[in-house]
Amino acid sequence: MKLTISLLLLFLSYAALSQNTATGKSYRITSTFSMFPDAERNAHPRIYEGKTYGTEQHYMDSSAYLFIPDYFDKNKPYTYVIWFHGWGNNIDTALAQFSLKQQFYNARLNAIFIFPEGPFNSPDSYGGKFEKPDTFNYFLQDVHSFLIKEKILKEKGIPQIIYAGHSGAYRVISYLLLHASNPCKGIILFDALYGQEEKFAVYLQQHPSTRLLNIYTDTGGTLQNSLDFITDMKAWKWNYIAKEEDDFEITDMKNHRILFLHSRNQHNDVMNYKNNFEKFLKAINL
């Protein structure tokens, strides 16, 4: 009996380890074309609820995290999955809290995960230099050059992009839809539709192959905007589907380019719940 229990515990330990191991290459790079530092925040620090969030502590990090899974094949078409964190977070806290690297790995896309640093531990949705024309394109050139130097990529290739993010990430993503040269394959908003709806709507109208997956909650502050967007899509006769999160199936996006999911979870739970990030990536990639 003791042997059986020991073997069971060993098996469970191995299973847990295998589920939490994303093997590949990780890098932390910097670029002069990152979101920060930025002239706007240098001149006008963020003030929220009476507290000032200064440049030195919150708007000086020009780093980006890159992860290339061990199954990545540079000889096949590939995608950049670009993640942006929300308020009060940074690269390291978001990676840990939301299991982003593991979920990305488990999605098994032939893709590279790129995570630029945003407002560091600040309650701020501002996208810094990425809100200016061309800056993001130069940032991607720096990333691409680095990956070529490391022999991860070949010289030629213009990958499609999947933008994904939580909460305040909506703003920087909306501006990149205006300015980025790379084609956008899909957009994943995790309880993030707080504004800029017109930018999302115009881009989707002008780019009929781009997919949008928006998940929203009752208490996260995105409910009404999401419902209004659904009303507009219905009037525009767009190809969309709206359903409950627990009814989601990866094949939902096989015949619908836009999916709105209503979640009964809390604002910070929509990424990890049933490995949503992993499943949404698979859905966008169908």
- pLDDT band, very low/low/confident/very high, at 8 (cuts 50, 70, 90): very low
- pLDDT band, very low/low/confident/very high, at 20 (cuts 50, 70, 90): low
**The tokens of 226 are what?**
């999401």
Mean pLDDT on 20-25: 88
Q: Is residue 8 a part of any domain in this protein?
A: no
Q: List, for residues 44-72, the tens digit of each pLDDT value.
A: 999 999 999 999 999 999 999 999 999 99
- Considering only residues 14 and 261, tell me which one the structure prediction assigns the higher pLDDT: 261
Number of domains in the chain: 1
Q: List, for residues 169-225, the tens digit of each pLDDT value.
A: 999 999 999 999 999 999 999 999 999 999 999 999 999 999 999 999 999 999 999
Whole-number average pLDDT of the chain: 93
Identify the CATH number of the domain in which residue 92 sits: 3.40.50.1820
Q: Is residue 14 a part of any domain in this protein?
A: no
Using alpha carbons, list the distances in angstroms from residue 271 to 28, 92, 216, 275: 23, 16, 11, 7
Listed range (9-13, 62-66, 95-99, 253-257) with the worst mean pLDDT: 9-13
- pLDDT band, very low/low/confident/very high, at 14 (cuts 50, 70, 90): very low
What's the CA gap between 110 and 129, in Å, rounded? 28
Residue 7 has pLDDT above 80, yes or no: no
**The tokens of 74 are what?**
């540079």
Q: Which of 29, 31, 56, 30 is nearest to 41 (CA)?
A: 56
Q: Is residue 117 a part of any domain in this protein?
A: yes
139 and 94 Cβ atoms separated by less than 8 Å: no
Q: Is residue 13 a part of any domain in this protein?
A: no
Write down the pLDDT at residue 19: 52
Write down the pLDDT at residue 33: 98
Q: Scanning the structure block, which residue is given the tokens 């590949």?
A: 24
Q: List, for residues 107-150, the tens digit of each pLDDT value.
A: 999 999 999 999 999 999 999 999 999 999 999 999 999 999 99
Write down the pLDDT at residue 286: 86
Q: Is residue 110 a part of any domain in this protein?
A: yes
pTM: 0.92
Mean pLDDT on 235-240: 96
Instruction: Tell me the residue range of the domain where 62 lies.
Output: 23-284
Residue 156 has pLDDT above 70, yes or no: yes
Using alpha carbons, list the distances in angstroms from residue 238 to 184, 190, 232, 249, 252: 18, 21, 9, 20, 15
Using alpha carbons, list the distances in angstroms from residue 138 to 31, 142, 202: 9, 6, 24
3-state secondary structure the chain: CHHHHHHHHHHHHHHHHHHCCCCEEEEEEECCCCCCCCHHHHHCCEEECCEEECHHHHCCCCEEEEEEECCCCCCCCCEEEEEECCCCCCHHHHHHHHCHHHHHHHHCCCEEEEEECCCCCCCCCCCHHHHCCCHHHHHHHHHHHHHHHCCCCCCCCCCEEEEEEECCHHHHHHHHHHHCCCCEEEEEEECCCCCCHHHHHHHHHHCCCCEEEEEEECCCCCHHHHHHHHHHHHHHCCCEEEEEHHHCCHHHHHCCCEEEEEECCCCCCCCCHHHHHHHHHHHHCC
Q: Is residue 15 a part of any domain in this protein?
A: no
Q: Is residue 11 a part of any domain in this protein?
A: no
Portion of the chain with pLDDT greater than 70, in percent: 93
Listed range (18-22, 207-211, 217-221, 241-245) with the worst mean pLDDT: 18-22
Write down the pLDDT at residue 155: 82
